């Protein structure tokens, strides 16, 4: 038997073998919140590692509850969740990446959120939207991320650029100025192609007033605004302002440190990376809002917390979720991880209220836009990735590429 | 108790020799002990059979069945509700530009990669078998090390070698005033770069096989050839290669199968890019299956790949087998 056939079939085996045992699940009320019990929680990446500390605190004030956190790597998260969902063995509480929620909600494995307990108004609109699917809410926003412009202030001063660009036109002329006058290798780092290129493109797309899927769930990726945005995006590669070559595993902070790249769009975790890996760079860079086109709109990412529909411990699980997403829990979480709180009330205290850098994120979050939850979101965005790549590599015009993507995506939305 | 499952009954039967009605009794007892032996055999085979059934047979059959359905993410929770679509997946595959491109890329990988691996592997073997006397072990280990190194470590090294701005090749090229191409970022160069990496990783396997084969060639044959005035090239053509034929056939077949399945190199180095220029069938299958959860479609791909591999292997065995012996 050859390896290929085998690889393809292993997943199915797992899926179907597990399904045989999936008949359990409880329909009753399950265990009461104040009963002695163990809650299982799955969280991804860094969040999974840090959550362990938080729940230790939580256990102190809830002596009847033991929380077992399992950290899962982002690279295997999707497969693991699907296998667990198939087996009816999702943990009581599970972290849901924004792009996963639609898929799992569609499978019917997530418990709808009680909107009486968790209120939409407490959270950033885009964060709340990521927890919703088909008019219902399945995930409570936990932390958010969005992209803002990182730029080198020292190099900017050298060439007389006084402030960060605040328009898309300004962004390009700033990129040119950096390259010509400050002698940087590139002007702006944006991803030329490959997996999740779309995340680089969202800043351009949303700011121009475009979208991949509109709020009614219709594919609109070849709208005039989107074409304009992709033309703008492509022009950076055409003019040699951005690197055309696709470099898997590329770490932009290295080139930012050397000055080869003076500007890029990055998420909140980049601040930590820069502080840790390039301490010499401190004070030589700053963040600014996404330069406006029609408006300044960035993408919203982040994760929600969802309760499994099969859980026997729903009552306690909801209490844990409500602690983690409440103002106090969120502020504590920020202290530990620097993940941006999804709950706006948490932004009223400490650094979150005063730090000017953090205010940039906060302001960006107010307008940030989330991609509507769709069961086949991964596949949908991969079509946009392909369209972007064909433009950055000069193989097709923005219009042609997006028309093609549009026709493919139309068959995938629901 | 004997472990044989066949009709090796006598030993057991002799031990319990009957005291009357010999013929009839014996036959009956033979039959009984035969059954008992069979049972023992089955018992000992059970662990294997269960594992084989669960991890090989069932997946193979399930994949085949699944390839006739539109099995997707939502069917995972209710697999029996997946819609039967007949041969749709297969017909769709051959209209899918992406899959055809992946098929082409895989073919490219095999056509260039297999001969390169075999030839270089053989040369390395000959070199180490005759040429280098000192530090032979060191060289053997050196050539073989890539085979046993994890692909992730290999990828780190090769990315450094191939990096267009500060990589090894780029730096060397700029020393002498040349500019190196952007190996992994260019559609022309990405595939050759991955092939080079695969050849480097796999020639060690071929080398080991060939060294074993070379050492089985009697030295008298070589000596005779030398006495007759054969040069190195003639010795290679007239003696080494013909006598190594079975080894080379085996090496070619396993290398071909390996390269038809190529997955790791593009997965860790390029993710199939740029513009799908390094997308192979296995990688495409992985994406369809695990990123998009088109399990039915991916299963059909697996079977197409299986048939291709089977066909090519049979062909190779026919063409390359030594029919003179």
CA separation, residue A337 to residues A46, A54, A148, B253 (Å): 8, 11, 19, 52
On chain B, the residues whose CB falls within 8 A of the CB of A6 are: 56, 59-60
**pLDDT value of residue B28:** 53
Contact A150, A287 (CB under 8 A): yes
Distance from CA of A108 to the nearest CA of B (A): 9
Does A291 touch chain B if contact means CB atoms closer than 8 Å?
no
On chain A, the residues whose CB falls within 8 A of the CB of B295 are: 11-12, 15
Contact A365, A340 (CB under 8 A): yes
Nearest by CB to B275, from A9, A375, A390: name it: A390
pTM above 0.80, yes or no: no
Does B98 touch chain A if contact means CB atoms closer than 8 Å?
no
Do the interacting molecules here have an ipTM over 0.95? no
Nearest by CB to A13, from B62, B285, B290: name it: B62
Report CB contact under 8 Å: B292, A378: yes
- The C-alpha atoms of residue A183 and residue A6 are separated, in whole angstroms, by 53
Does B309 touch chain A if contact means CB atoms closer than 8 Å?
yes
Q: In what order do the strands lie in the sheet with A340-341?
A: A65-72, A37-44, A93-97, A300-307, A140-146, A340-341
∠ at Cα A99 (A375, A290), nearest 5°? 135
Contact A44, A337 (CB under 8 A): no
Most confident of A72-81, A167-176, A348-357, B154-163: A167-176
Structural tokens at position A175 = 């990129």
Number of neighbouring beta carbons within 10 Å of residue A258 = 13
- The C-alpha atoms of residue A215 and residue B68 are separated, in whole angstroms, by 35
Report CB contact under 8 Å: A382, B79: no
On chain A, the residues whose CB falls within 8 A of the CB of B265 are: none
On chain A, the residues whose CB falls within 8 A of the CB of B263 are: 7
Which of B 123-182 lie inside 8 A of A, CB atoms? 159, 163-165, 182
3-state secondary structure of A127: helix
- Cα R_g (chain B), whole angstroms: 28
Structural tokens at position A405 = 């993507």
3-state secondary structure of B221: helix
In terms of CA atoms, which chain B residue is nearest residue A249? Answer: B269
Half-sphere exposure of B41 (CA within 13 A, CB side): 14
Percent of chain A with pLDDT over 90: 42
- Cα R_g (chain A), whole angstroms: 22
Nearest to B125 by CA among B259, B193, B198, B216: B216
- The C-alpha atoms of residue B202 and residue B118 are separated, in whole angstroms, by 9
Nearest by CB to B185, from A82, A244, A395: name it: A244
Does A390 touch chain B if contact means CB atoms closer than 8 Å?
yes
On chain A, the residues whose CB falls within 8 A of the CB of B290 are: 11, 78-79
A305 pLDDT higher than 60: yes
**pLDDT value of residue B35:** 59
Report CB contact under 8 Å: B62, A5: no
Contact B300, B89 (CB under 8 A): yes
A31 pLDDT higher than 60: yes
On chain B, the residues whose CB falls within 8 A of the CB of A1 are: 56, 60
Structural tokens at position A349 = 């205290």
Question: What is the pLDDT of chain A when averaged over all its residues?
Answer: 86
pLDDT digits (tens), chain B, 325 positions: 344 444 444 444 444 444 444 444 455 555 555 556 688 888 999 999 999 999 999 999 989 998 998 887 777 767 777 888 888 899 999 998 899 999 999 999 999 999 999 999 999 888 888 766 677 777 888 888 888 888 888 888 888 888 877 788 888 888 888 877 878 878 888 899 999 999 999 999 999 999 899 888 888 888 888 888 888 888 888 888 888 888 999 999 999 999 999 998 898 888 887 888 899 999 999 988 888 888 899 999 999 999 999 999 999 888 877 655 4
On chain A, the residues whose CB falls within 8 A of the CB of B285 are: 4, 7-8
Q: Which residue did the predictor score with more confidence, A245 or B37? A: A245
**pLDDT value of residue A285:** 92
A321 pLDDT higher than 70: yes
Does A20 touch chain B if contact means CB atoms closer than 8 Å?
no
Does B283 touch chain A if contact means CB atoms closer than 8 Å?
no
With tokens 């290669």, the residue in question is B241
Report CB contact under 8 Å: B270, A16: no
Contact A360, A148 (CB under 8 A): yes
A249 pLDDT higher than 80: no
Pure H helices in chain B: 10-15, 22-52, 58-66, 88-93, 97-126, 136-148, 151-162, 168-175, 187-215, 219-227, 232-235, 241-260, 264-269, 281-286, 295-320
Which of B 38-77 lie inside 8 A of A, CB atoms? 54-56, 58-60, 62-63, 66, 71, 73-74, 76-77
Q: What is the pLDDT of residues A87-131, one digit of tens each?
A: 888 999 999 988 888 889 988 899 999 888 888 889 999 899 888
Distance from CA of B298 to the nearest CA of A (A): 7
- The string of DSSP codes covering A289-355 is PPPBSSS---BEEEEEEEEBTT-S-HHHHHHHHHHHHSHHHHHHHHHHH-PEESBGGGGGSHHHHH-
With tokens 């062909």, the residue in question is B315
Does A2 touch chain B if contact means CB atoms closer than 8 Å?
yes
């Amino acid at each position: 038997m050859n390896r290929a056939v085998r690889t393809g079939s292993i997943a199915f085996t797992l899926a179907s073998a597990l399904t045989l045992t999936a008949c359990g699940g409880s329909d009753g009320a399950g265990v009461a919140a104040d009963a002695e019990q163990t809650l299982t929680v799955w969280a991804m990446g860094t969040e999974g590692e840090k959550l362990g500390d938080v729940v230790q605190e939580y256990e102190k004030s809830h002596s009847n509850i033991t929380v077992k956190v399992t950290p899962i790597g982002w690279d295997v998260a999707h497969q693991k969740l699907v296998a667990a969902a198939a087996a009816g063995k999702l943990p009581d509480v599970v972290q849901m990446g924004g792009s996963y929620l639609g898929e799992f909600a569609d499978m019917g494995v997530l418990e709808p959120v009680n909107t009486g307990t968790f209120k939409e108004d407490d959270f950033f609109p885009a964060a709340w939207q990521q927890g919703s699917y088909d008019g219902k809410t399945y995930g409570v926003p936990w932390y958010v991320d969005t992209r803002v412009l990182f730029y080198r202030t020292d190099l900017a001063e050298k060439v007389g650029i006084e402030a960060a660009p605040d328009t898309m036109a300004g962004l390009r002329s700033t990129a040119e100025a950096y390259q010509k006058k400050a002698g940087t290798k590139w002007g702006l780092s944006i991803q030329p192609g490959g997996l999740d290129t779309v995340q680089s493109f969202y800043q351009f797309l949303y700011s121009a007033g475009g979208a991949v899927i509109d709020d009614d769930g219709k594919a609109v990726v070849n709208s005039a605004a989107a074409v304009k945005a992709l033309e703008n995006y492509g022009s950076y590669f055409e003019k040699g302002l951005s690197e055309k070559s696709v470099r898997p595993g590329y770490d932009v902070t290295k080139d930012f440190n050397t000055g080869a790249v003076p500007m890029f769009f990055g998420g909140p975790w980049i601040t930590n990376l820069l502080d840790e890996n390039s301490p010499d760079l401190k004070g030589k860079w700053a963040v600014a809002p996404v330069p406006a086109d029609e408006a300044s709109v960035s993408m919203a990412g982040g994760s929600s917390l969802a309760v499994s529909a099969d859980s026997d411990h729903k009552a306690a699980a909801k209490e844990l979720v409500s602690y983690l997403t409440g103002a106090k829990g969120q502020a504590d979480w920020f202290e530990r991880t620097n993940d941006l709180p999804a709950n706006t009330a948490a932004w009223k205290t400490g650094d979150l209220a005063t730090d000017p850098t953090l205010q940039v994120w906060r302001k960006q979050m107010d307008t940030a836009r989330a991609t509507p939850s769709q069961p086949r979101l991964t596949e949908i965005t991969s079509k946009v990735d392909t369209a972007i790549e064909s433009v950055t590599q000069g193989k097709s015009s923005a219009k042609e590429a997006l028309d093609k993507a549009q026709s493919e995506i139309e068959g995938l939305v629901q | 108790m004997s472990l044989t499952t066949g009709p090796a009954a006598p030993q057991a039967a002799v031990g319990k020799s009957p005291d009357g009605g010999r013929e009839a009794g014996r036959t009956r007892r033979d039959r009984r002990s035969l059954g008992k032996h069979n049972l023992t055999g089955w018992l000992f085979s059970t662990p294997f059979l269960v594992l084989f059934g669960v991890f090989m047979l069932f997946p193979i059959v399930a994949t085949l069945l699944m390839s006739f359905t539109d099995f997707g993410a939502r069917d995972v929770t209710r697999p029996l509700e997946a819609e039967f679509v007949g041969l749709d997946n297969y017909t769709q595959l051959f209209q899918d530009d992406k899959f055809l491109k992946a098929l082409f890329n895989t073919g490219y990988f095999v056509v260039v990669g297999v001969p390169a691996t075999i030839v270089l592997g053989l040369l390395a073997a000959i070199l180490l078998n005759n040429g280098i006397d000192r530090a032979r072990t060191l060289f053997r280990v050196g050539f073989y090390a890539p085979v046993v190194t994890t692909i992730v470590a290999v990828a780190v090294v090769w990315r450094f070698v191939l990096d267009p701005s500060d990589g090894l090749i780029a730096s060397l090229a700029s020393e002498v005033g040349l500019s190196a191409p952007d190996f992994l970022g260019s559609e022309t160069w990405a595939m050759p770069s991955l092939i080079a990496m695969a050849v480097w990783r796999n020639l060690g396997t071929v080398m080991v096989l060939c060294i074993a084969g070379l050492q089985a060639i009697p030295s008298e044959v070589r000596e005779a050839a030398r006495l007759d005035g054969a040069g190195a090239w003639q010795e290679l053509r007239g003696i080494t290669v013909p006598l190594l034929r079975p080894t080379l056939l085996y090496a070619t077949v396993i290398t071909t199968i390996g390269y038809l399945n190529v997955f790791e190199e593009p997965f860790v180095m390029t993710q199939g890019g740029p513009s799908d220029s390094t997308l192979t069938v296995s990688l495409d299958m992985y994406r369809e299956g695990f990123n998009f959860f088109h399990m039915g479609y991916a299963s059909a791909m697996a079977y197409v790949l299986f048939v291709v591999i089977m066909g090519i292997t049979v062909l190779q065995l026919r063409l390359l087998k030594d029919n003179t012996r």
